[in-house]
Each structure stands twice: as C-alpha cells, then as structure tokens.
Structure 1
C-alpha cells in the first residue's frame, strides 16, 4: 500500500488522526512495471512460479473455479484483455467517474484492477497462428498447443469488476467512505461468492459507514479477501479494510518463501501468506507487467477460495476460510503470528486434505465486533438506494445484531486492533498516559535520570529480518 495520498471527506476534529485515505495496495512496488511490449506472451506464462510452488497446479486436479463469481473491488478491469476473454461477467462503477459497467480503469493506477483480475482468473490465450509456408503440412500439430499469457489461480471462475477511484482526487467527489460500502453491497447483491480487495490504508481504523456493508457480506455468506499492505508503501502495520474481523487478510512472501521486507506488513489480523514478489499480470490493452506487493498476493488466495467454493458449493464462508488457514504451512514463530498469520498458503492441501469443521470463522466476526464496540440500536442498516445499483436486490430486512448509529462528533471510527473487552481499559490507559506526559513536560528529567512519566517502554518496529 502507498502512504495515504488522497484525503477522504473531512471527519470530526476528534477523529482527525483516524482519517482514512485508501490507495491501491501495491502501486509503488508494482509500477516499475516491466511491460516490454515486444516480449512474447508465453514468456510471461513461463514465469508464473506461484502456480506450482503454492500447490495451485495440483489443486486444479480437483477444481478450477467453475461456477463461482469473484468481485474485484479495484480500479476497474479491462475485459478485452486477451487473457480475460469470457472471464468478466459484469460490473459496476462505484466511483461515479467511470463506465457504468466498471470495465474502465479509473483513479491513480487505472491498470491495477486488470493486473489483479488476470492473476485471479486469467484464461491465457492461444498463440496467433503464423501464415503457413508453402511447404508446411496442413495437418501438422501446433508447436505450442498450450495457452500463452497469464493463467489465473481460478481460470474457470467469473469476474465482477467493481471500479473505485482511489489515490487521487475523484472527479465525482465520492470518497472511499461512500465507494467501499457501495461496492461491497453491489458485489454481494450480484452474486459474488468471493470478494477480492487489493487496496487498503495506513490506519487500522475504518469509518463507521463501512460496518453495515461488511456485516451484510458476512450475513450473506461471502468470503472477503484483503491485502495486508506493503512496508515500502508506508504500511508497517496492517491497515483497514484488512483489519475488519472476519476478513481473510493476506501477507506477502519473497522468492525464498520468507516474509517480504518490502512487499508485506505485519499485524494480528493476518490470516495467511502468499507470494508477493516477481509477480506477473496483464495490463489494459493486452500488455503484461512484472509487479510486487500484497495486491498480487491477495488474488492468489482469493482464487483458492474460488476453487474451494466451486468444489463445495454449499460450504459456508467461515469454513472456506478455515480450510485455507488450517492447511497453511506454519512459518515464523510456532502457531499464528503477525508476519505469516496461520502460515504459508498450500492450495493443494486446501483442496484435498480432510479438514475438521470449525466452530466459526477463525478470523473473527464483524457482527460480534459491532455488538461489542459500536454504540448501536436495533434499527435496520440503511439500505443502499437500489435505483443507483443496477440489478441489485433489496438488502436484508433486518440486521441480526445492533446496527451502527451515524458517527458522533466524538466517535466516528474505532480501530480493529482493540481487543474485545478491553475498550474501557484502553481509554483509561490513554488518559493516564496523557496526564503523565503533561507532568513530564512541566518537570523534565535531567540527563541520565528517569522521568516519572509512567510511559511504557517503546518497542522498535524495524524491517523484517
């Protein structure tokens, strides 16, 4: 993820530090883009190392994602790319500044959505047939019958392109606080079984305006996969929406299979890690590019979720996520950790192993989080006006947990990193620290002396080693 570039609509003064500015999660890393127009497409196909190393080619023995729609909430997808012919089943523009079908690149990095979509559900393409020479046999087999180009993790899944304008000023004036919940609701209402969100922010907090949309997706049994973010883009810690409980957050790996120093971040919400360096994807207009970042790790994992949902159509979203994280190869500190989550993605095991049913989503529940952390009432979440969303069906008639109230002047966003049950304690600690800091300012310690500030020891957060 980049550092925050564009501001959202102004929030109350008390929440200024929690201002959420979303950007595409891998722009800076990926856009040294080695797009080499003269290169042959099969040269890019041959470099897709993650297909074998993450167990995806073995997983294809079980499923290739047929019958599953995956929404790509991003900058728009070029459905005319040779490797996406027949893959894009529809779309919607949540930005208010693009084509209504979401198939036009918008925002700061308009090519980003096509990169993501080709990695997720690219079909490849047949090489162009050369003009036959007079001596060529008309019955001779082609030299390379296999498809060229990019083959996605779920090459038989369908893409729904939901375009958002992020990273620069949106001509329509719609902020991420408006676009993201609208995009999530449209995706759910139009049949997405998996949602890929390769974007994020530099804060773990999210606007209260997002609560009802992510709750709606959870209640409608949709898997949401989101990028953890990239250190080189300013994200040492995971930012929203990857901090939302129940979301499957993806960290990044280097070519040696270790946590990437540049193309990843860290945090307690990480669920699984997948390749994030030396990735390849398609560009609008038919080109190809080499890129890096958790923006590319995310469609790898979302693709595996699509394979699972195709193989077991009745399996719940929480069990799909459990199957992915419980079959991951443990890495780093034993057990779940803030660099790898539950471990490194193992697509073959996720499709072939026997996995006990989990009691719930191992990454939590937004419904439970809202119940504990939002001061809500029993009102129904305000539905998105369907006149602005083609083919959308009415939203849930009522929520099963208290819905969020409109943001107050005192509380417009609450961080997902707050541990359930410790909210009051956290506020008390912050207040005490502020008092002690003011006391220290009035009575500074002499060199070599310890000021009685009551401050906790600082923990350095440095590069991953």
Structure 2
C-alpha cells in the first residue's frame, strides 16, 4: 500500500518526491532554461526572490505582471506554477512552495491570458526556442485554441521538438470547461495529477479522473500554492496545472544531470522509470505510464534507451516524419498518443526513491496504445 504523505500539509510533495536529497547532492536545475506559459504572475513575492526569472514581452498579450498585487484571481495560477519550479520555500506567512528545480532559469510568457491574440501560443513557443529553452511547461489552455490553433500549434510544437525542446502540458481537469490544444498534438508530455496517497485526482462525483491522452502523473492534489486564499501566504491548490510544473522541474534535474542525453532519451527514461522498480512500459487512462520518479530519473543513465520519442500516435499531428524527415521537417500533420498497461508499483513506497513529476516534451517513435488502457486499473 502506498505511503500517505498528507500529514505534510501543502508541502507533502517535497517528502513524496525525495527532492531535498536530490538538491543536497547538487542537482538543482542549474544551467537549464524552462519556459513557463501561463496567465498573470506576481514576481515580487518573497517566494520568488533570488530566482532567475525573465518576463518575455509578447505583442499579442498584455503584460502578465501588470495586475495589482491584490488581483489574486489574475495572478494566483501563474505565480503558483512558477513557485513549484523555482520557489525558495518562503511566503508572507512563513513557509512556502519549494521549487523542484530552484536554480533553473525561467522565461515567463503570459500567453494564456484571456486577452491574448489567437496566435499568441505559436509566437511564444517560437520565441522560447529562439531564447534557448530546454523545456516548456504549460498549465492550461483555451477552448478556442483546440479548433483555431490546431495547425499553427502543431507546427510550432514540431519546430520545438526538432530543436530538442521538451514540451510538457497539463490535461484538463475533468470538470474544466477548457480544452488543452496540446492534448492532441504528438510529442507533448500530457500530465495529470495524483494525491498524497498516490491515488488519481477525483472528479466532483468522487470518481477517478481518466483521460485517453495521459502520459504521466505527478503530485497535484492539495499542493503548495500562493494567492488561493486571498493572501501571498502559502495555501493549497489542486489539479493537473499543479502537477505539470513539478514534472517540468524534475525533467530539468534530468537535463542537468545528463547533459549529453537527447530529449528523446530523457523522455524514454521518464516513462520507463516510474514506480519503484524497473518494469516494462505500461499504460492506463488514470496513471498513464505511471507516477514520475525523480530519484530514478536522476540515477538512471538515459543513454541506455533508444533515441526515439515514445509519444507519437497515428492520427495526430505532427507525424514523426514531419518532425524528423531530413527532406521536409516543417510539415505539421500527424498522429495521436496511445499506450497500454498501468503503473507497475506506485512510487511513494520506494525506499530512498521519490516519485516526482517531470515533464518535458520530446519526440519518440515508440507508439503508445492509449486506446488499450484499462478502466479498472
């Protein structure tokens, strides 16, 4: 049975992922650049002091830092996402979110604000690639993008993957009204949430969240956030939006630890080293390939794995050849994700190993049969 970490309050994910030991060993995300796509963000809070954050100006969007500090509804989401990557552990009421990759460089894009132009996402992604981003973390989306931006978004993702950028995106919470435009795009790591007992996040009716596009899961229920209680003290929030930056942060640790590994090899390692012991690739629509394990991702040499992105599926865009074909890599029509199995062993029970969330996107040829996932796992 999985260990219950809920007694740790909103910081339970720190103990569950064993992230402190990884930081103490010198792996902190130093030298890694993460582009965060979100809404408004308040960079002046105590939790983000000392962090390397550059807010990128987009002509297609308002300044994400413009809202007043008391505009919590506009600022809480993006601020909380950023804090889970590079937060320093403080807040206005004492303790605060602890970042998974505190020494990573953040490029912040307010590309998910409601007042952005429809082409904000492709423009922001192209800029992130040009600025040297290693990982893109996107928690959220618009319903409009699912239809209006499918091709431009796919083309932008194809360019990012071709450049070796890892792209991580949150799946919609089951009760959300929005759809993530990246959920149906190949090569992206789609993230869902689990709680302190390593159980899938719940719908309002008490049933487990399930999604045919889930790739991995990470801590995302009642984790540390900022602004959710109307103050800049630590509060708790939940959802795939919270799990996604944890995945991105963990992946940043892998990028730092294994600088010679390709993005695809890191992604192979991410999905093959879930749980507490090595196991064959498995998949379910509740856990994807399993709960990401930060300790094993850092310890296992990714060069042992094929240099192929495992997150391509027939029927979704872009196709593998459109991304990697030497003759015409700029096309953007293609496949859809899939996979099979269920998490072998839930990672919290791992002695000395943490289950964390890392996510970055990469391109791999190994097809995942998501349609083969089982509802009963």
TM over 0.5: yes
Distance 1:341 1:280, change over 3 A: same
Q: Deviations over 1:124-148 (max 9, x none)?
A: 34999xxxxxxxxxxxxxxxxxx94
1:72 equivalent among 29, 36, 40: 36
1:307 equivalent among 226, 232, 253: 253
Structure with higher Rg: it is: 1
Deviation at 1:228, TM superposition (A): 1.4
2:371 maps to which residue? none
* Inter-partner Cα distance in structure 1 for 2:146 and 2:285: 14
The answer to whether the 8 A contact 1:67-1:156 is kept is yes
Distance 1:217 1:342, change over 3 A: same
2:310 equivalent among 347, 350, 362: 362
How do residues 367-386 of structure 1 correspond to structure 2 at under 5 angstroms? 369-371=317-319
**Is 1:57 matched up with 2:1?**
no
* Inter-partner Cα distance in structure 2 for 1:45 and 1:93: 38
**Is 1:82 matched up with 2:82?**
no
Deviation at 1:47, TM superposition (A): 3.4
**Is 1:341 matched up with 2:304?**
no
Deviation >6 Å, runs of 4+: none
* Inter-partner Cα distance in structure 2 for 1:400 and 1:351: 35
Query: CA RMSD for the aligned pairs?
Result: 3.9
* Inter-partner Cα distance in structure 1 for 2:73 and 2:159: 29
1:291 maps to which residue? 237
Distance 1:50 1:97, change over 3 A: same
How do residues 36-435 of structure 1 correspond to structure 2 at under 5 angstroms? 47-60=10-23, 61-94=25-58, 96-99=60-63, 102-104=64-66, 109-125=74-90, 148-166=95-113, 168=114, 170=115, 174-175=117-118, 178-201=119-142, 207-234=150-177, 239-262=180-203, 265-283=209-227, 286-329=232-275, 335-355=282-302, 356-364=304-312, 369-371=317-319, 400-404=328-332, 417=336
* Inter-partner Cα distance in structure 1 for 2:337 and 2:91: 51
Deviation at 1:183, TM superposition (A): 1.2
The answer to whether the 8 A contact 1:81-1:285 is kept is no
Q: Deviations over 1:60-114 (max 9, x none)?
A: 2351111111111001332211111132431224363423xx5445997432110
* Inter-partner Cα distance in structure 2 for 1:334 and 1:221: 23
Secondary structure in 2 aligned to 1:187?
Answer: helix
* Inter-partner Cα distance in structure 1 for 2:182 and 2:335: 9
The answer to whether the 8 A contact 2:139-2:169 is kept is yes
Distance 1:324 1:334, change over 3 A: closer
* Inter-partner Cα distance in structure 1 for 2:187 and 2:320: 15
Q: Which moved more, 1:103-112 or 1:85-94?
A: 103-112
* Inter-partner Cα distance in structure 2 for 1:354 and 1:315: 8
TM-score normalised to the size of structure 2? 0.73
Distance 1:296 1:69, change over 3 A: same
* Inter-partner Cα distance in structure 2 for 1:127 and 1:252: 27
Structure 1: gaps (5+ residues): 1-43, 129-146, 379-397, 405-413, 420-462
* Inter-partner Cα distance in structure 1 for 2:36 and 2:305: 28
Q: Deviations over 1:286-340 (max 9, x none)?
A: 4333111000000110000111111122322111212211111189x98112211
